[in-house]
Structure 1
Amino acid sequence: LKMRYPMPRYNNPRRTWQYTNEFKAKAVQLSLMDGIQVQEVAKALDIHPMMLSRWRKEYREGKIVADKRKKLTSIDKEKKELNKLKRLEKENARLREELDLLKKWQRFLAEEHQNGIDSSKKSGGS
């Protein structure tokens, strides 16, 4: 007798995103600008950095070509957005550190206050 194993059935097959050549070209051109890192562009566009690296290679090889009829004026806007995102992330990190420090200070004061209450009980003071 031959045993039959049921094949897995996928009700919702995994979908892959299809990106236009124009999107890929803009992403690559943005990543090639001075002061911009591949990881930053990938994070801002919500794509994996390796995908962007592959697109950069394909762009160099001529497999991805930007539509020359469309101006890429939005690149400057996107660069400003990336810079704004970096600035906000730094500010967020600084604020988290400040909050953490304030919480530690609050705990310290609460412990000092509790120690003061405990020592006054032991000494019979009020």
Structure 2
Amino acid sequence: MPKYTKPRKTWQYSNEFKVKAVQLSLIEGVQVKEVAVTLDIHPFMLSRWRKEYREGKIVADKRKKVTEVSSKQAKELSKVKRLEAENRKLKQEVDLLKKWQRFLAEEHQQGIDSSKDSD
């Protein structure tokens, strides 16, 4: 097996980012996985940050207004969820229309072929 000479890139997240991520995940109705996917981090890492937050290893900066940011981010997250659901629905509608168009084209082609056979 090849030996790795270069260490892997380790991302360093600021304490403020960790606190915001944890607070987003603590909002009622929001799942840890959704927050992790939105922030492009692994859900396990967010779960670990939540544990460290409970233990007091990660502390929020008391000087900043976190409640306003959290409510704003919660609205943003719910908007993203709504838009993703709408996007899924529209993709399904487009797929259905494409299938219907293919069906009509096949029906039309069969009609043309059967009229040629009768000639």
Tell me the TM-score normalized by structure 1: 0.87
Pairing partner for 1:26 from 8, 20, 38: 20
Describe how 1:41-60 pairs up with structure 2 within 5 A: 41-60=35-54
Q: AA paired with 1:123?
A: S
Higher helix share: 2
Aligned counterpart, 2:114 = 119
**Please, what is the CA RMSD of the aligned residues?**
1.4
CA deviation string 1:40-78 (max 9, x = no partner): 111111111110000000111111110111111211111
SS for the counterpart of 1:34 is coil
The unaligned stretches of length 5 or more in structure 2 are none
Q: Distance in 2 between matches of 1:103 and 1:7?
A: 50
Q: Percent identity?
A: 73
**Residue of structure 2 in register with 1:89 after alignment:** 84
Q: Distance in 1 between matches of 2:58 and 2:85?
A: 34
- The 5 Å alignment of 1:47-86 reads 47-72=41-66, 73-86=68-81
Q: How many residues are treated as equivalent by the alignment?
A: 117
Distance 1:19 1:107 in 2: 50
Larger radius of gyration: 1
2:97 counterpart (92, 102, 112): 102
Give, in whole Å, the separation in 2 of the partners of 1:7 and 1:118.
Answer: 65
Cα separation, 2, equivalents of 1:78 and 1:8: 40
